[in-house]
């Protein structure tokens, strides 16, 4: 009715209520919107704590996010980066990317820290080294289309984009589910697998 998308309405709410340059408050305000106004399929605070814990344990210098959406996960990742680290985030939907770009900058992250790349992941991943300077990722956060998880993991492997000992963190592998990705990760012999139990977003 308003002619604006849910994602744009959420951003207008952020502009009105969030403290610019305060990533933690940006995420809290996002959560308030999603709990009380309209549901968005962001990571949310429950699963967000798992992401924060992994960042703290791993202290990755090069992070790749597949599926920027509104920028919630991007801000969550960026605020947990160690000094000198860089985050590359890929979003296939230009309208979502436009909202995410504003959210990321509102949270106070520059293009030197967070680079948003717009395009289908299967086209962007093969160009990450040559075009964007990402040689090897220490942490990959998958939160895009579940049917793309396995394809994109194989792409990352074939283009040698995973650093030794890299961590792959994949959201919603049980529901709605990414069974082929899970089966591959458990049986290919390249990965140690751990399932984190969590609730859905909100």
Domains of the chain listed by start with CATH number: 6-188 (3.40.50.150)
Mean pLDDT, residues 3-13 taken together: 94
pLDDT score recorded for residue 23:
98
Annotated catalytic residue, options 91, 101, 143, 152: 143
Annotated catalytic residue, options 31, 91, 101, 201: 201
Annotated catalytic residue, options 7, 65, 146, 152: 146
Distance between CA atoms of residues 89 and 104, nearest Å: 11
Mean pLDDT, residues 68-94 taken together: 97
Distance between CA atoms of residues 173 and 175, nearest Å: 6
pLDDT score recorded for residue 165:
97
Distance between CA atoms of residues 170 and 167, nearest Å: 10
SS3 of 73, please?
A: helix
Annotated catalytic residue, options 123, 171, 186, 190: 171
pTM (predicted TM-score): 0.96
SS3 of 115, please?
A: strand
Q: Is 93 assigned a catalytic role?
A: no
Q: Is the pLDDT of residue 169 over 70?
A: yes
Q: Is the pLDDT of residue 2 over 70?
A: no
Question: Residue 66: which of 156, 4, 131, 130 has the closest Cα?
Answer: 156
Mean pLDDT, residues 8-31 taken together: 97
Nearest-Å Rg of the Cα atoms of the chain is 16
pLDDT score recorded for residue 28:
98
> For the chain, give me the number of helices (H) and strands (E)?
9, 5
DSSP 177: I
Annotated catalytic residue, options 136, 172, 186, 194: 172
Lowest mean pLDDT among 1-15, 102-116, 131-145, 146-160: 1-15
Chain mean pLDDT for the chain: 96
Q: Is the pLDDT of residue 140 over 80?
A: yes
Q: And the tokens for 111?
A: 């293009």
Mean pLDDT, residues 34-55 taken together: 94
Q: Is 143 assigned a catalytic role?
A: yes
Burial level of 107, CB count in 10 A (0-12/13-18/19+)?
buried
């Amino acid at each position: 009715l308003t002619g604006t998308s849910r994602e744009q309405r959420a951003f207008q709410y952020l502009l009105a209520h969030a403290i610019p340059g305060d990533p933690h408050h940006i995420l809290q305000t996002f959560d308030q919107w999603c709990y009380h106004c309209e549901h968005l399929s962001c990571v949310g605070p429950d699963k967000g704590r798992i992401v924060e814990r992994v960042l703290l344990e791993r202290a990755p210098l090069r992070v790749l996010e597949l599926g920027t959406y509104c920028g919630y996960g991007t801000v969550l990742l960026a605020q947990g980066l160690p000094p000198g680290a860089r985050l590359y985030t890929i979003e296939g939907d230009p309208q979502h990317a436009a909202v995410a770009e504003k959210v990321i900058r509102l949270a106070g992250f520059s293009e030197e820290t967070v680079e948003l790349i717009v395009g289908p992941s299967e086209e962007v991943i093969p160009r990450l080294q040559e075009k964007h300077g990402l040689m090897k990722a220490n942490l990959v956060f998958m939160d895009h289309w579940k049917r793309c998880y396995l394809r994109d993991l194989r792409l990352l492997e074939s283009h040698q984009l995973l650093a030794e000992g890299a961590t792959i963190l994949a959201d919603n592998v049980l529901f709605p589910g990414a069974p082929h990705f899970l089966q591959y990760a458990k049986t290919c012999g390249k990965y140690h697998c751990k399932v984190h139990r969590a609730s859905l977003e909100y």
